[in-house]
Amino acid sequence: MHLSVFYASAALVPLVLGQKDPGYPVKNPSISFWQLPAHPDVADHQSEKLPESADVVIIGSGVAGTSVAWHLLMEHKNNSTTKMPKVAMLEARQACSGATGRNGGHIRPSTYEDYEVNKQFTTKEEAAKIAKLRVHHVDALIRAANKLPEAARKASSVREVDSLDVFFEEDKWARALEQYETLKKEIPEIAAEFGRLDREEARRISLMPNAVGALSGTGKVAGAIWGYRFITNSLKMLLDTYPSLSLDTNTTAMEVKALKGSTHNFEVTTSRGSILTNHVVHASNSWAPHFVPILGNTLGGGILATSAQLGGAGLPKAGEWPAYQNVSLPGGRAWSIFANGGLDYIVQNPEFGEYIVGGGAGISQTDKASDLSPYDDSGFPARPLAAYLNGALSSYFGYDNWGAERTDYPTNLHKDIYQGRTKRTWTGIEGFTADQLPLVGPLSTQQTQRAVANPAAGKEWVTAGYNGEGMTYAWLSGKALSQMLQSHQANKTTDEALFEWFPKAFLPSDARLQKQNTTATRRSITRRG
């Protein structure tokens, strides 16, 4: 068997395609800054009794699975001829304990780079759809958060932010400018939201004295989110509003069986019993190959590391940064740092001013990365990587701009928030695909190797593999998947209007799944979602 291996810059363990069954999530994951405190009503929510049946079983409670449930339930028309679907969501650990509760919280694609690269692996038209889909996540997530109760909306901290992609290497800067010029010619409406900052202006605006250039982005193409709070509060609202939704955490989905001679197509066996259903949605990201092994040809996992830390007292508060395009947004500022052959990311939280920092190209989690499973997020970043993350911020800004260490941080917060400059460090598992595009859509019985008795009644689906960019892929992918599922439920072909905005390149076609891709090195930058 040929293996396809590549490293994302922040990945501490390589993604290996065609590998063995990923198994189940570890029971003792590290706890991220975002998860403190855990949601009191949702984190360990379980039904009094596991449902015996459901119309749809969703495996995974992160942004992908929650988006599917949200759109199935909230967009169901009251005057529809179909009944409100009964949806059962399963989670092996606490709710939202996977990548969504561990990522950097960025909703900000580097569209100029993504668009050019994607054109090489799909059509120009599809690459444009992908670019627009990713940008539209800023507005889509803000709109979704606005449907939550006011306290939940505020807690979710979904917001527009200042956005700077800062370059420290002349060749990378020159390449970015070429890509930016292409974007201006081919998708001018998106390019108009970006701006070019040459050396001196980049240094003045970014407060990074060694920058060689930067590309700015408006709030229309750049946002940030407290993903854990958004998802757990969304699940709380859905559970309170729709009795047809169940959420069972600490309930591991262990097997999916096709049934014969039953009114249902599938039996999903869990650690607490079984559920009969006609539709199964695999929204467990890098764990999906456990249930559908052929997905492992193109979908795998890799460990990433992130930290929450304080900046120096000399750095501006949110909304007070040197303005570009006459704007310094109250939501704070976010940076992508192209340096050292990779990419680090930074996002400022507006309330207390923490910076979420991730990256560390080429810095291993241990002396022997092979000692680590790419599916084990129980550990914390090891000394070399922790030292890098905790030193990078002051190095980028320069010690004159950094100023004294802050002493004004609140001390009455959660007991597991550290007392020093660093507030928390953690690891997480990102799902990566060989072509670095998500897998979203229906799975055939040939792909699942589960022939169902009544294909018209239901099938298996997947939404996974966001390549560290889940906040600019997963929510609208969940919406698209819900529309595909509802079309199937209504015995209709998928509305072509869906593919006017949703990329067909995301579909899990035989061409993507049956042949292992051995050219999975096209991008080697840290993703931020």
pLDDT for the residue 489:
81
pLDDT for the residue 366:
55
pLDDT for the residue 510:
92
Cβ contacts of 56 within 8 Å, gap of 6 or more: 68, 72, 85, 86, 87, 88, 277, 278, 279, 280, 281, 485
Q: How many CB atoms lie within 10 A of CB 243?
A: 9
Find out whether the peptide bond into 37 is cis, omega within 30 degrees of 0: yes
pLDDT for the residue 340:
79
pLDDT for the residue 327:
78
| Global pTM value | 0.94
Of 200, 197, 201, 198, nearest to 216 by C-alpha is 197
Intervals of the chain under pLDDT 50 = 1-14, 79, 367-370, 517-527
Cβ contacts of 529 within 8 Å, gap of 6 or more: 103, 104, 106, 107, 466, 468, 469, 470, 471, 472, 473, 474
Whose tokens are 């949601």? That residue is 39
Of 159, 308, 349, 150, nearest to 233 by C-alpha is 150
pLDDT for the residue 526:
42
Q: Residue 1 corresponds to which tokens in the numbers above?
A: 């068997």
Q: Residue 58 corresponds to which tokens in the numbers above?
A: 């969703």
Q: Are 152 and 42 in contact (CB under 8 A)?
A: no
3-state helix, strand, coil in the chain (%, to 5): 30, 25, 45
Distance CA 303, CA 98 (A): 12
pLDDT for the residue 373:
75
Phi, psi (rounded to 5 degrees) for 456: -65, -25
Distance CA 41, CA 376 (A): 26
Phi, psi (rounded to 5 degrees) for 426: -160, 170
